[in-house]
Structure 1
Amino acid sequence: MSAGLTVRWALGHANPEIAQALRDYVSESSHARFEQLEGLHFKTWRMREGEWFEGNYVFVDDAARSAFAAQFAPAAAESPVSKLTGAAPILIEESEIVSIAIGPERAVSKPTGERG
């Protein structure tokens, strides 16, 4: 069974340029780092400008998620996204991944740093 983790930061307090700064961070740094994370099926980065930014992780199992969370959670307030947004995450939530459907396109989005 796959294991999920969602980490969300509020953006309501952040300056208007934060959305582009977050796109650049994902494009220039974060995406490549998570391509190498053992035990990770995939990660998505989602954002609603002016509202929130989040990372959604799907790990191969609970052990892989727990290992990542044990390293991330204690330092979450000092993470790169927390530094960019000026605040710690408002949510760190584990979940069960019931199923994953891969569509016929099987496309993987590469970050460009541009609004998509």
Structure 2
Amino acid sequence: MFGLTVRWSLEDAPKKTANELRDYVRDSSLARFTGMSELRFKTWRMRPGEWFEGTYVFATVEARDTFADEFAEKAADSPVSKTVGSPPQLQETFEVVAVAEGGAGFAAGLGSTNG
């Protein structure tokens, strides 16, 4: 499996940005990536006031690299960049060595809805 991380800084973003990002994921982004061809899963992570991140895991290196190249071209104009007020500070590819599913099982969908 082949991963991509895209991270934005929230250090200079207004406090309301964390809630706006949660709303964006819930109202738009979650549906866009659910069922996406060649995508194994996507995780949205955030440390309010510090950073917001999208982590993608693809079935093939080609799918990952195509998505990464296309995203890099438009990253500065992405909905998250517009919400945060700046482009991503990091776009990094990686290899996923393994994924273990715990006893609680895998749950798709929204996690915490507040900070």
TM-score (norm: length of structure 2): 0.94
Letter of the 2:71 partner, please give it.
F
Greater displacement, 68-77 / 85-94:
68-77
1:51-70 mapped onto 2 (5 Å cutoff): 51-70=50-69
Letter of the 2:34 partner, please give it.
E
Q: Secondary structure at the match of 1:4?
A: strand
Quickly say closer, same or farther: Cα 1:113–1:103, change in 2 above 3 A: closer
Q: Secondary structure at the match of 1:108?
A: coil
Match of 2:42 in 1: 43
Deviations 1:44-89 (A, max 9, x none): 0000010000001111110110111121111000011001000000
Match of 1:23 in 2: 22
Q: Give the number of equivalent residue pairs.
A: 115
Unaligned segments of structure 1, at least 5 residues: none
Q: Secondary structure at the match of 1:88?
A: coil
Match of 1:88 in 2: 87
Letter of the 1:103 partner, please give it.
G
Measured on the aligned residues, the alpha-carbon RMSD in Å equals 1.4
Counterpart CA distance in 2 for 1:6 and 1:27 is: 19
Query: What is the aligned-residue identity percentage?
Result: 50
Shift of residue 31, structure 1, vs aligned partner: 0.5
Unaligned segments of structure 2, at least 5 residues: none
Q: Secondary structure at the match of 1:63?
A: helix
Counterpart CA distance in 1 for 2:111 and 2:44 is: 13
2:109 is equivalent to residue 110 of structure 1: yes
Letter of the 1:53 partner, please give it.
F
Match of 2:98 in 1: 99
